[in-house]
Amino acid sequence: MWMPTHIQLTVQRARGLLTKGKHGTNDCFVVMSLGKEKFQTSVKEKAPPDVTWCEECELTIPQQGNTAEIKLTVLHRNFLGVDEFLGQTSVALSDHDAYETPRSRWYQLHSKPDKKDTKKRGELEVRVQFVVRAAPSASSADLAAEKQKGRGSLLSLPKVSGSLGGSLTSLAHKKKSLKKLAASVGEWSGRRERDWGGAAGGGGTGRREGTGAGRRGGGQGAVRGTGAGRRVGMGDGAP
């Protein structure tokens, strides 16, 4: 006797749903979950209270087997993108025989467990079928893991490239700054050499004049450096 491993769940349609959208319509969808798995149908926009999906998903049967329940929640997505609750129901696996021909059933939608109200929230039609899926072999699992690792490495390449680009940019900036500093030092040294050379040769640029500083007894004395470094005295009382 075969043992089922998965559930093929088909969401057929809903009828008599609460309406929370404009003009008595909903942008509605269904969320299905079993164990840690969760799936969602497409969003039917501007749908009336009676709406059809005919969409299916495959859920893994958890370890607790037929004591598990499939939870189905119907929601409306408003114009702000916020999901509003319309109703929910659950399908117990123990209510279905894995070896019988699958058929669709209607399930009443209810309010949330922590709320009690008398609103009629409509019904949801679903179909449950038990199937067997072979577990992937070790080699297949290893191949999938290696493929995932490869994807992770490729995704991380842009980050590495970005950091490398930043380093190269910083190095170029530092190199440019050093060149500017070297040029400034060279220019300053050149100016200093020219100034000292002119002063040592006694040229026109090294002229020093004094007025009144060398007077003796009311005269004016000036010391002027010309081409040969001559001293010239002008005025009375010059030495």
Q: Is residue 140 part of a domain?
A: no
* Mean pLDDT to the nearest integer, 140-146: 53
The pLDDT tens digits of the residues spanning 221-231 come to: 443 444 444 44
Full-model pTM:
0.57
Q: Is residue 210 part of a domain?
A: no
Q: What's the pLDDT score for residue 196?
A: 55
Query: In terms of pLDDT, which residue wins out, 229 or 65?
Result: 65
Domain of residue 29 covers 6-131
Q: Is residue 188 part of a domain?
A: no
Q: Is residue 165 part of a domain?
A: no
* Mean pLDDT to the nearest integer, 174-188: 61
Query: In terms of pLDDT, which residue wins out, 138 or 61?
Result: 61
Range from 52-61, 65-74, 84-93, 141-150 carrying the lowest mean pLDDT: 141-150
Q: What's the pLDDT score for residue 174?
A: 52
User: Distances in Å between the alpha carbon of 119 and those of 46, 83, 213?
Assistant: 21, 19, 113
pLDDT at 97 over 80: yes
Q: Is residue 125 part of a domain?
A: yes
The rounded distance, in Å, linking the Cα atoms of 122 and 20 is 13
Q: Is residue 34 part of a domain?
A: yes
pLDDT at 118 over 60: yes
* Measured CA angle at 118 (ends 10, 91), to 5 deg: 25
Number of domains in the chain: 1
Q: For position 79, which CATH number holds?
A: 2.60.40.150
Q: Is residue 174 part of a domain?
A: no
pLDDT-based confidence at 116, cuts 50/70/90?
confident
The pLDDT tens digits of the residues spanning 16-60 come to: 999 999 999 999 999 999 999 999 999 999 999 999 999 999 999
Highest averaged pLDDT of the listed ranges 24-38, 133-147, 190-204, 225-239 = 24-38
Average confidence score pLDDT of the chain: 74
Supply the Cα-derived Rg of the chain in whole angstroms.
47
Q: Is residue 153 part of a domain?
A: no
